[in-house]
Structure 1
Amino acid sequence: MERGLKNGLLGEEGIALVGSKMSLEDVLLAAREHYKWMPLCVVEEWIILDAIVTDAERAKIIAAGCQPMFLFAHKVVHDEQRRFEPGHWVRSSMGTTFNEGFLFATRNSIYVLLGPGHRKSSSIEAIFSLF
């Protein structure tokens, strides 16, 4: 995995974005205003990966209530349910929404994005190779 972190897919090319600049406590409170019951996972050094899909695939994904996008984060800061250890990396399941510039939602979790990140397109195969 280390090689992939330094090359191509997870490199810093892509569109530069900035997540929240709030403190951990404040960003958790802000996320709770939008998502009352979903588990929160706060991450840094993140990248949103827009999956390159055909129009037919996109239609199926949207019909299933998702968007063809995933989140990869190099560093977990805090996970309410302790699924991920602080400092570890995480790749989300397919996203449903990206709100407020720092809230990436999936069906099961809300990823709270801190600090700088990137957004870029990638093949589904490359995204799933991140395991």
Structure 2
Amino acid sequence: MDRSNNDGLLGSGGIYLLGSELGLEDVLVEARKHYRWMPLCVVEEWIILDAIVTDEERAKVAAAGCQPMFMFAHKVVEDEQRRFEPGHWVRSSMGTAFNDGFLFETRNSVYVLLGPGHRKSASIESIFSLF
């Protein structure tokens, strides 16, 4: 896909957030205090995408134990399960929690957010059109 189609969504803008400023080893230790058994994926250059949904859609998402939010990262630093190569991008499945400003949880993984990032709203269509 032509990345230029997503520049508005993936570029800067939205609400500026700061993930963890710890080094890789320290941030993994900190994340393990909260998530003992979930696989961890450390990322940089990230964006939390809040899906624009109707009240009915929000209720269905909540009934499934999720929140209408996704995480996109331009750069994987380390993935414990080696699903994603370092330096590659990743888009999460729907999130279940966003904790301590740097731990984005889905049903299957915890994304550990390093350094600066952003949070913005987007349509479901635009989120799923990412790569």
Range class of TM-score, shorter chain: over 0.9
User: How many residue pairs were aligned?
Assistant: 130
Please say if residues 4 and 10 of structure 1, whose CA atoms lie closer than 8 Å, have aligned partners that are also in contact.
no
Distance 2:53 2:82 in 1: 32
Secondary structure, counterpart of 1:93 in structure 2: coil
Cα offsets for 1:71-107 (capped at 9, x unmatched): 0000000000000000000000000000000000000
Name the aligned partner's letter for residue 2 of structure 1: R
What amino acid is the match of 2:93?
S
What is the aligned partner in structure 1 of residue 48 from structure 2?
Answer: 48
Moved over 4 A (4+): none
* Aligned mates of 2:32, 2:41 — CA distance in 1: 12
Give me the whole-angstrom Cα distance separating, in 2, the residues matched to 1:52 and 1:12.
Answer: 19
Structure 1 CA distance for aligned equivalents of residues 79 and 5 of structure 2: 24
TM-score, normalised with respect to structure 1: 0.97
Q: Work out whether 1:93 is the aligned partner of 2:93.
A: yes
Query: Match of 2:122, as an amino acid?
Result: S
SS at match of 1:22: coil
Identity across matched positions, percent = 78
3-state SS of paired residue (2:60): helix
After superposition, where does 1:5-84 map in structure 2 within 5 Å? Answer: 5=6, 7-84=7-84
1:83 and 1:102 map into 2 onto residues whose CA distance is 20
Structure 2 gap segments, 5+ residues each: none
Query: What's the RMSD between the two structures over aligned residues?
Result: 0.8
What per-residue deviation string (whole Å, max 9, x for no partner) do you get for residues 30-84 of structure 1? 0000000000000000000000000000000001000000000000000000000
Q: CA deviation at 1:4?
A: 3.7
Question: Structure 1: which amino acid aligns with 2:43?
Answer: V
Give distance in 2, aligned partners of 1:94 and 1:58: 12
C-alpha distance in 1 between matches for 2:28 and 2:72 = 19
2:125 paired residue number: 125
Q: What is the alpha-carbon distance in structure 2 between the residues aligned to residue 124 and residue 2 of structure 1?
A: 17
AA partner of residue 68 (structure 1): P
